[in-house]
Chain A
Amino acid sequence: MRYVDEYRDGETAHRYAAAIRTTVTRPWTLMEVCGGQTHAIVRFGIDELLPPELSLVHGPGCPVCVTPVEALDRAVAIAARPGVIFCSFGDMLRVPGSERDLFAVKAAGGDVRVVYSPMDAVGIAARHREHQVVFFAVGFETTAPANAMAVLAARARGLRNFSLLVSHVTVPPAMEAILAAPGRRVDGFLAAGHVCTVMGLEEYRPLCARYRVPIVVTGFEPLDLLQGIHMCVRQLEEGRAELENQYARSVAPDGNEAARSAIREVFEIVPRAWRGIGTIPASGLALRASYADLDAEQRFDVTTLHAREDPECRSGLVLQGRIKPLDCPAFGARCTPEHPLGAPMVSAEGACAAYYRYRRIATR
């Protein structure tokens, strides 16, 4: 398949791996920020091609994983109400809340629908005026523009039965939280290419300077990742801490202005709780006051739920790169995709799911 196969070529991959091996002279730890990158690394076995001095730790960029359990509980509470059509990306349905997940709400009779775009939810609202249609707006800067567009479309069409349950997060504050934490382990970052496709590069430059850390904006295919790793270790070996763009075929320095302005119009920056990590200042997006009438949290009055996390789940440590999934005592035993303790075991971008799905064997 064109534009994909070129970036998965085995021979070129091995040439990059050889270049990385000759570059690396001492131990380094890199963090790939995005869960999509984590899955590609584990799925294609990219880490197996790397020299032993170089270790990859997995970052917080899994939108499903970091959505706080309170938001899940609100989703469950709203979806269970009669007269509500609750629309979500499919990935969120298996994520455990305090008591149950959205699949359980669906099995109990709730009208929970998987959609591929928030605009589909707007369409459902237009066709079902007698129902309240709620879209579960989660994710990073990648999903925020389309969700903002849905808000603008619903407003333009005068849909009074449409609302958004928002739990958006943004990447740079989470990277800063990891860098500022005591006992920092991460020497360099592979930043999330698609987030930068929307937002551009500028937010990352201050992090490089303040924390003396190289950041390479990186894509998601095997050759993207290997090239990003090579660029990052070359900086480390040469004592540089700069922002570089491996994913230039998708990321323009200023990002996508139309997408950014939609986000600015609809959302404002707020402190946000990250599941397993805690509240990070200025790390979330919430609807502006001028769009408060489209806020499902207010429409359904679900602000005072008390959330309960499973105390055994160590997803917070996994999401900060402090442990790998295989280091968690519950992994594969008390925590499986059928009976997850936390979100990283069920999300398509969760690190625990990647290890469960691809790594429960000794590799040759």
Chain B
Amino acid sequence: MSAPDPIPSCPVPLGHAGTVQLAHGGGRVMRDLLESLFLPAFDNPALAARHDSAVVGCGAARIAFTTDTYVVHPRVFPGGDIGTLAVYGTVNDLAMAGARPLYLSASFVLEEGLPLAELARVVHSMRAAADACSITLVTGDTKVVDRGKGDGLYVNTAGIGTVPDGLDLGPRRVRPGDAILVSGDVGRHGIAVLSVREGLAFETEVASDCASVAPLVEVILGAGIDVRCLRDPTRGGLATVLNEIALDGGVGIEIDERAVPVDDAVAGACELLGLDPLYVACEGRMVAFVRDDESERALALMRGHAIGAGAARIGTVFPAAGTVTLRTRLGSRRLLDLLSGEQLPRIC
């Protein structure tokens, strides 16, 4: 008897290059890669839930478990650095499962030649961020690679937290009629990083929204709101997250363009570069799907917190499976699609 093929025989639509391309880092191309290679290779129910964190049993406890690797360039940007991002990003992924974040691990890949002062800055940022969200960094690892074999510094964090009994959040719980809320204006982080990376000097500096949204989750769950699903709109932004939930939850989503909060400076930068703010990353926002009749109460609770002050209802869930549409400000309706890869600035 021959051994079973460990990896499905046709793993990835290879494209004409047969190599990993930047487009594999986001949008539909990344989704294809997950679905054709990673998910079948490790198939299990916790992974198949495809949430920001896996929720698994551990003795009597229910644990949320997540990991993320941070390769942002530049490592320092208005409003934060790679260290703040590495803590808040993982804390937020735990919070999206409704978990109370407890413990963090951190692994550092250091490139020979990285200034120690910069490493110290990142470590101190991580400590401050961890203190701010009451999570404890309990284990870690460092590796040094030859000059030229890494981009200065990569950080990986993993986190665990406890999930209250009976709480089950995820796309499959989303129902037609549910209200869609966002905790604040979108696109700040992506524009903040881009403005430094590309040396674009905007008149108004845009700072990253980098922050923990765990307090917002705590307050709406604590008040007994029937929350169906939470997601933080990081890479690919709000539009990508809505598409993922529409696909994974088998529902349709419609949002109102005028209802989505976008800061003027972010909107201006996007206009200039030909980017759509709905696809630009946030690092301190969450999208919440809640029962329609509880949406006003949930909004009021979120607005009571500084990081949720700009919370708004942006849309509603419909039965049409897998599609996300946008009601434009002219009243017409169009598709809000998953992008193929990263957004590219236009020519003119």
- Partner-B contacts on A (CB < 8 A): 1, 4, 8-10, 13-14, 36, 42-46, 48-49, 63-64, 89-94, 96, 99-101, 103-104, 106-108, 114, 116, 120, 138-140, 142-143, 194, 222, 336-339, 346, 348-349, 356-361, 363-364
Query: Is there contact, CB below 8 Å, between A359 and B334?
Result: yes
CB atoms of A116 and B273 under 8 A apart: yes
For B316-348 the 0/1 string (1 means CB < 8 A from A) is 000000010100111111110101110011111
Q: Could you tell me if A104 and B17 are in contact, using CB atoms closer than 8 angstroms?
A: yes
Complexed CA–CA distance, A44 and B258 (Å): 12
Question: Which residues of B166-209 have CB atoms within 8 Å of chain A's CB atoms?
Answer: 198-200
Distance in angstroms between the alpha carbons of A13 and B330 in the assembled complex? 7
* Distance between A345 CB and nearest chain B CB, rounded to angstroms: 9
Within 8 A of A (CB), among B1-41: 13, 15-17, 19-23, 28-29, 32
Residue of A nearest to B263 (CB): A1
Contact B334 A363 (CB under 8 A): yes
**Chain B residues positioned under 8 Å from A361 (CB to CB):** 323, 325, 334-335
Chain B: interface residue total (CB-CB under 8 A): 40
Q: Find chain A residues with CB under 8 A from B249 CB.
A: none
B264 touches A1 (CB 8 A): yes
With A and B bound together, what is the CA distance between A138 and B335 in angstroms? Answer: 30
CA distance A346 to B339 in the complex (A): 11
Residues of chain A within 8 A of B23, CB atoms compared: 94, 103, 338
- Is A348's CB under 8 angstroms from B274's CB? yes
Q: How far is the CB of A278 from chain B (nearest CB, A)?
A: 22
Q: Does B310 reach chain A (CB closer than 8 Å)? A: no
Q: What 20 additional pairs, Cβ within 8 angstroms, besides A44-B328, A49-B332, A348-B347? A: A10-B330, A10-B331, A46-B332, A90-B346, A91-B345, A91-B346, A116-B200, A139-B348, A143-B347, A337-B341, A338-B29, A346-B340, A348-B274, A356-B337, A358-B335, A358-B337, A359-B334, A363-B332, A363-B333, A363-B334
Check if A103 sits within 8 Å of B21, measured CB to CB: yes
19 contacts between A and B (CB under 8 A): A1-B264, A8-B330, A44-B328, A44-B332, A45-B333, A48-B332, A49-B332, A63-B347, A92-B347, A96-B16, A104-B17, A107-B17, A116-B200, A116-B273, A348-B344, A357-B337, A358-B334, A358-B337, A360-B335
User: Which residues of B pack against A, CB within 8 Å?
Assistant: 13, 15-17, 19-23, 28-29, 32, 198-200, 264, 267-268, 271, 273-274, 323, 325, 328-335, 337, 339-341, 344-348
Q: How far is the CA of A57 from the CA of B226 in the complex (A)?
A: 48
Assembly CA distance A17 to B68 (angstroms): 49
Query: What's the least CB distance linking B336 to chain A, in Å?
Result: 8
Q: Within 8 Å CB of A89, what residues of B? A: 345-347
Shortest CB–CB separation between residue A213 and chain B, in angstroms?
25
Contact B17–A108 (Cβ < 8 Å): yes
CA distance A349 to B346 in the complex (A): 8
Contact A107 B21 (CB under 8 A): yes
Shortest C-beta distance, B289 to chain A (Å), equals 21
Contacts of A116 in B (CB 8 A): 198, 200, 273, 345
Please, how many angstroms separate the alpha-carbon atoms of A138 and B346 in the complex?
Answer: 12
The residue from A1, A44, A93 contacting B344, defined by CB atoms under 8 A apart: A93
Q: Report the Cα distance A223→B53, complex, angstroms.
A: 45
Q: Are B335 and A338 within 8 A (Cβ)? A: no
In the complex, the chain A residue whose C-beta lies closest to that of B23 is: A103
Complex Cα distance, B347 from A359, in Å, reads 23
Question: Do residues A114 and B346 form an inter-chain contact, with CB atoms below 8 A?
Answer: no
Bound complex: CA A106 to CA B344 (Å): 15
Question: B337–A360 contact, CB under 8 A?
Answer: yes
A43 is contacted by which of B17, B267, B325, B328 (Cβ under 8 Å)?
B328
| Assembly CA distance A48 to B339 (angstroms) | 24
Closest chain B residue to A140, Cβ basis: B348
Whether B331 pairs with A14 at a CB distance below 8 angstroms is: yes
Q: Assess A194 versus B334: contact at CB under 8 Å? Given A1-B267, A1-B268, A108-B17.
A: no
CA distance A214 to B19 in the complex (A): 50
Q: Which residues of B contact A63 (CB under 8 A)?
A: 347-348
- Contact assessment for B340 and A338 in the assembled complex, using a CB-CB cutoff below 8 Å: yes
Q: Which residues of A contact B345 (CB under 8 A)?
A: 89-91, 114, 116
Q: Give Cα A38–Cα B198 distance, bound, in whole angstroms.
A: 28
Query: Which 3 residue pairs are nearest across A and B when measured between Cβ atoms?
Result: A45-B332, A90-B344, A337-B340
Chain A neighbourhood of B337, CB < 8 A: 356-358, 360
CB A274 to nearest CB in B, in angstroms, measures 16
Q: CA separation between A250 and B332, bound complex, in Å?
A: 27
A43 to B335, CA, bound (A): 9
In the complex, what distance in Å separates the CA atom of A14 from the CA atom of B333?
15
Q: Write the chain A residue with the least CB distance to B24.
A: A107
* A107 interface neighbour in B19, B274, B346, Cβ under 8 Å: B19
For B20, B271, B333, the residue with the greatest tally of chain A CB atoms inside 10 Å of its CB is B333
Residues of A contacting B274 in the complex (Cβ-Cβ under 8 angstroms): 348
Known contacts A43-B328, A361-B323, A363-B332; decide if A338 and B28 are in contact (CB<8 Å): yes
A90 and chain B: residue at smallest CB distance: B344
Measured CB to CB, the nearest residue on chain A to B22 is A103
Closest beta carbon of chain B to A170's beta carbon, Å: 13
Shortest C-beta distance, A9 to chain B (Å), equals 8
CB-based contact A42/B347 at 8 Å: no
